[in-house]
Amino acid sequence: MSLDALKAELNREMIEAQARQRAVDLVETAAEAVRVLALPVELQVIGGALVLRVTVFDPMVVTYELASGPTMGDALSLMQAETPQAEVLQDDAVPVADPAPELHTGPWTEDEEAEALELDARGASLKEIAAALNRPAASLNLKMRHLRRKVEEEIEDDDTAPDAGQGDRQEACGHAPEGTEAPAEAVADFTPAALPKDAPVAMKLVQAHLNAAGYQAPWTPELDYQLIAGLTGGRKLPAVAGDLGLSLEDCRQRFALLCPEPGFEAQSRLLKVLQHRAGQTQPVKE
């Protein structure tokens, strides 16, 4: 064989090898495209063939085979074909893939917003919140920023609300105006310390819950803190109630009101906010 003939043969083999590599790349690209459709895909090398197996329906299997040693014409035909040749095989052993659930894309309900804020307060990621609500993950970032800002504005409005008038304050304290009957139970007149503006949203959610609970006599920010600190510290309810000089039932009801959500993280977060409301600390981060 002459040198020119050898070069020509090597050049032909190189072109064929490049064509095979291109064909393999096309099959891999097709596999990735099918995966986007949430269909089970298997890409296997069996003997001298590259097999792309796709589960479609009832159950059907579409198999694409690329021979290990195609001719130059076969490789070019595969590269230029608009639709790959498919061999459809019946295989009862292949399971049918469950269809992917349809994501919700409409307006958010109040329940969804409340659940999203609760999961966010527990430290869930945007991906986890999206999965729980069956919402597109890409839409969660902007929505959660809006919900957090809304909560912060509501809490700031509540913290900066003007004090009630003298007559309202007397009624709130349980002192009714002359000529009227006093309410059955007095409501303590306290203005707990507001959280700093840079406090975490989870802390501000706890603060809003405590503001809504209010202070009905004899409860005060200090007594709330002592109650929760004692119970979360491992002490029994009768012992804590005895130290506070309050009835067992009053302490039980107050604990249920202040801490409706069980769990270490929720109770730890509540204790930090109560400690701040009692004027002892200033929580900035969890």
Task: List the pLDDT tens digit at each of the 286 positions of the chain.
Answer: 788 888 888 888 889 888 888 888 888 788 777 777 777 778 788 877 888 887 765 444 444 444 445 555 554 555 555 444 444 445 555 555 566 667 877 788 888 888 888 888 777 888 888 888 888 887 777 788 888 877 777 766 655 554 444 444 334 333 444 444 444 444 455 677 778 888 888 888 888 888 888 888 889 999 999 999 998 888 899 999 999 999 999 999 999 898 877 678 888 888 899 988 888 665 445 5
Query: In angstroms, rounded to a whole number, what is the distance separating the alpha carbons of residues 49 and 2?
Result: 34
Rounded Cα distance between 219 and 225, Å, is 10
Q: For residues 189 and 168, what is the distance between their CA atoms, to the nearest angstrom?
A: 11
Residue that is written with structure tokens 């929760």 in the block = 228
CA atoms 277, 279, 282, 283: torsion sign? negative
Q: Which of helix, strand or coil describes residue 65? A: strand
> What pTM did the predictor assign?
0.39
The answer to whether 237 and 254 have CB atoms below 8 angstroms apart is no
Whether a cis peptide bond, with omega within 30° of 0, leads into 183 is no
- Please compute, for residue 80, the number of CA atoms within 13 A of its CA located in the half-sphere on the CB side: 6
Provide φ and ψ at 156, rounded to 5°: -65, -40
φ, ψ (nearest 5 deg) of residue 86: -125, 140
CB 88 within 8 A of CB 61: yes
